[in-house]
Amino acid sequence: MLIIEQGQSPQATSRPADDGPDGLEDLTKHNLLSFKAADEPFSAWFAEELLSHSVTYRKVASLRALRERPSDKDQPLEEPKEHYRLLPAEDFRCYAIATRFPLELVKQLRPGSCHKTEKAGIYHLRFGTRDMRLVVINQLEPHPRNAPWGLFATEEAHWRSAYASYRSHSDIGIHLHNLIGYFRLGEGYMAYTQEDMHREAREWLKGFLPDLDPEDRLRGLAAEDRLRGLDADLVLSHYDPEDRLRGLDPEDRLQGIDPKFIQAWLAKQRWDH
């Protein structure tokens, strides 16, 4: 079970709707994902388990929203005796992620409970009174955006293509890439501690740094970090004198200049005028 919850980080930036893998391009405020690999098909039991988790999680999220200070970890969550309002049902979505199509599950449902969408491998699944999104990894379009899914495909050509095009943006993603390489291709070694994972991630990133644009390599760094290690004279030489002095007080502009030079300059100005 994986829960993806939207936060209010000041660094958060909007991204295009088609920037994520198929099925996850329009995440809502609260998203619950259940994944089953090829050796364990997604069954009615797992669908019931996913929906039961979503009910519990919706209650917990609603109780958190009632707090004056939602981030107060010392305050235990207690369900009030009186009636309280749950967060809107449309703010919660369930995802059934299956490597292969759950044929036995669909046979147990009413006709029309599962139907395709416009995207290959993405289905609307009606289970009881609830809807969930079904993502069938083996049926997804073999596109770089689907590489995170393709790593778990059963067809060799599919997961090899995904492995080659997968680009991680986090230590966890790099660790996942290394695990796939270790278990399926026999490349590298498996990290067994968190320190190993971070070390592998740093080593893996070093290999891709030369291929990145300068802006991508510097994105997210503070101005002080960008300038660290650079020769001050070299940096200043790229700016016009007016740009270098813009915003400085008159006292700061004159600081360090020989007073005799200032006096001589003033005398010349008076003589010229």
Decide: residue 34, CB within 10 A, 0-12 exposed, 13-18 middle, 19+ buried.
Answer: buried
* Distance separating alpha carbons of residues 198 and 66, to the nearest angstrom: 37
Structural tokens at position 59: 């209650």
Query: Which residues, in sequence order, are CB contacts of 51 under 8 Å at separation 6+?
Result: 94, 127, 128, 130, 132
* Pairwise CA distance, residues 98 & 116, whole Å: 15
Closest CA to 176 of 157, 161, 190, 156: 190
SS3 116: strand
Task: Give the integer Cα–Cα distance in Å for 38 and 146.
Answer: 17
For residue 6, which phi and psi values (nearest 5 degrees)? -70, 135
Residuewise pLDDT in 10s, the chain (273 residues): 788 887 765 444 444 445 689 999 889 999 999 999 888 889 999 999 999 999 999 999 998 888 765 566 666 777 777 788 899 999 999 999 999 999 999 999 999 999 999 999 999 999 988 999 999 999 999 899 999 899 889 988 888 888 888 877 777 777 777 777 777 777 655 555 667 667 766 776 676 667 767 777 677 777 676 667 666 655 556 666 666 666 677 777 777 787 887 778 777 777 665
CA distance readout (Å), 137 to 69, 99, 118 = 40, 5, 15
**Which run of H or of E encompasses 31?**
strand 30-36
Q: How far is CA 257 from the centre of its chain?
A: 51
Question: Max CA-CA distance within the chain?
Answer: 101
What's the predicted TM-score (pTM) here?
0.62
CA atoms within 13 A on the CB side of 67: 15
